[in-house]
Amino acid sequence: MTDTPPLPDFDLYGFTPYRLAVAAKHTSEQLARQYRDRFGISIPEWRVLVHLAHSGNTSVRDIEARVAMEKYEVSRAAKRLREAGLIERKENPEDRRLIILSLTVEGQKMMAELLPMAKAHQAELEKRLGDAFKQLEAGLEALLNETK
């Protein structure tokens, strides 16, 4: 018979990494419902599109590193977006192993409609958080700078 050690007290609902993950998923899903209903795209597809809108031509590797997605997620999302005519891919002439992605004209048109939705979502978050928003931003900046 083995003795099971008692578990120490642990407040999961007060554990910051858990709370950050839940809050991120919740706020992301609020926006995702809007663009999923209007444009039929998923969260990974949104992340690829918004990164391309922000950065222009870029590699799958760069998107993977910057948006915290696995390579397979970026590749799958890019494939669906390419099939939908929203992005195009080309070989990098300097390194043929790298694939460069960019928005098509149709992708740019979609993002011209979608980015204002994202800005409105951001404004709503800021309004809901009030004075706490600046503190949250400062805290997130400190956490994100640790990973650089």
What are the tens digits of pLDDT across the range 106-127? 999 999 999 999 999 999 999 9
CATH architecture of 33-146: Orthogonal Bundle (1.10)
**How far apart are alpha carbons 76 and 148 in whole angstroms?**
26
> What is the per-residue pLDDT across 51-103, written as a single tens digit (0 to 9) for each?
999 998 888 888 888 888 888 999 999 999 999 999 999 887 777 777 889 99
For residue 117, give the nearest of 71, 59, 26, 50 by alpha carbon. 50
C-beta of residue 89 within 8 angstroms of C-beta of residue 61: no
Averaged confidence pLDDT in the chain = 91
Is the Cα torsion angle 114, 118, 119, 123 positive or negative in sign? positive
pLDDT at 148 over 60: no
pLDDT value for 48: 95
Residues contacting residue 95 through CB under 8 Å, at least 6 positions apart: none
Query: Order of strands across the sheet with 58-59?
Result: 58-59, 99-103, 87-91
pLDDT at 20 over 70: yes
pLDDT value for 147: 61
Structural domain boundaries of the chain? 33-146
